[in-house]
Amino acid sequence: MSKVSRKNTNTPRYSKLKPQLLKYLKFIAIGIAVLIAFFPFLWLLMTAFKSMGDIQSLPPKIIFSPTLDNFRAIMDANFFKYLQNSLILTFSGVSLSMILGVPAAFAISRLKIPFKDGILFFILALRFVPYIVFALPLFLLFVERGWVGTRYGVVMAYILINLPLIVWLMKGFFDEIPKVIDEAAEVDGASRFQIFTRIILPCAKPGIACVLILAFIFTWNEYLFALILAGRHAQPLTVGLTQFLGGIEYGVRWGALSAWSFTLVFPVVTISLFVNKYLRKGFTGGGYNK
């Protein structure tokens, strides 16, 4: 009887310790995962404030005297010109892609279109085809049109990148909205355009925000089409980064390269942190405001 009673008195203690231990292990695992995810960004930030001697030191220095020479170097390399091009190209490409892609997704979701499955498969296939396949045809086409070396040509290429993503994702978000809403609005005398602008779009706000954020990130980070089509006067930040890679005569300017990379990555990281709830809501079936 004594053994049984002793076992019963010890059971509650272990039952309380086990959930606490699992909670601490969970926090430790999350902390390690966050540290691993942000370590490259933190190392990039540290390198941006290091002198060349500190960058090349072995073992790497964790404690050092910060300097702004690398940021002065990128300012002397027309940083603001590249930044202006990136802002214009990104916002123009994303805006036009959303204007074209969202109504197209609504039409595919709601209207009876011949060969709808084939159209959706073609749109999805465009997203999975390597973009290098389109590089030469687009270059030859834009040469004939006189668009190479202009912002207009790069924006057209960005629309090609974003449209498949926008149409495919928004079509899924629109499918989640019950069609009885459309039918009720039609009974009240609303036109198809009024149903789309006044009813469907407000219901799909989380999905639109999710797609808009993803399109911005993909466009801001795009390099291939900008390198081939932008020319000298329309290059964004991703292409301007290459001027610090050096060559045969000069080595890589790691400090300026890190400073430029930090300014390129910082907006994406900041936006992702502030809007991650919209991304989670959009990808977990919350694209419809009930």
Whether 250 shows a pLDDT value over 70: the answer reads no
Cβ-based burial of 105 (10 A; exposed 0-12, middle 13-18, buried ≥19) = buried
- Which of 69-78, 176-185, 226-235, 280-289 bottoms out in mean pLDDT, i.e. has the lowest? 280-289
Of the candidates 173, 178, 180, 164, the residue with the CA atom closest to the CA atom of residue 281? 173
Q: Give me the pLDDT at residue 103, please.
A: 92
In the numeric block, the tokens 């149409």 are attached to 167
Kindly give, in sequence order, each residue whose CB lies less than 8 Å from that of residue 177, ignoring residues fewer than 6 positions away: 200, 203, 204, 288
List % helix, strand, coil for the chain (3-state, nearest 5).
Answer: 80, 0, 20
What kind of architecture, by CATH, is found in domain 69-283? Orthogonal Bundle (1.10)
181: left (phi over 0), alpha (psi -120 to 50) or beta: alpha
Of the candidates 188, 184, 176, the residue with the CA atom closest to the CA atom of residue 281? 176
Of the candidates 139, 115, 80, 104, the residue with the CA atom closest to the CA atom of residue 260? 80
Q: Give me the pLDDT at residue 249, please.
A: 60
Measured at the alpha carbon of residue 182, what is the angle toward residues 177 and 184, in degrees to the nearest 5? 120
Q: pLDDT tens digits for 198-209?
A: 888 888 888 888
Question: Is pTM beyond 0.75 here?
Answer: yes
When pLDDT is cut at 50, 70 and 90, the band that residue 1 belongs to is very low
3-state secondary structure of 191: coil
Q: Give me the pLDDT at residue 25, please.
A: 83
Residue 277's identity, in one-letter code, is K
Q: pLDDT tens digits for 155-176?
A: 999 998 899 889 988 888 888 8
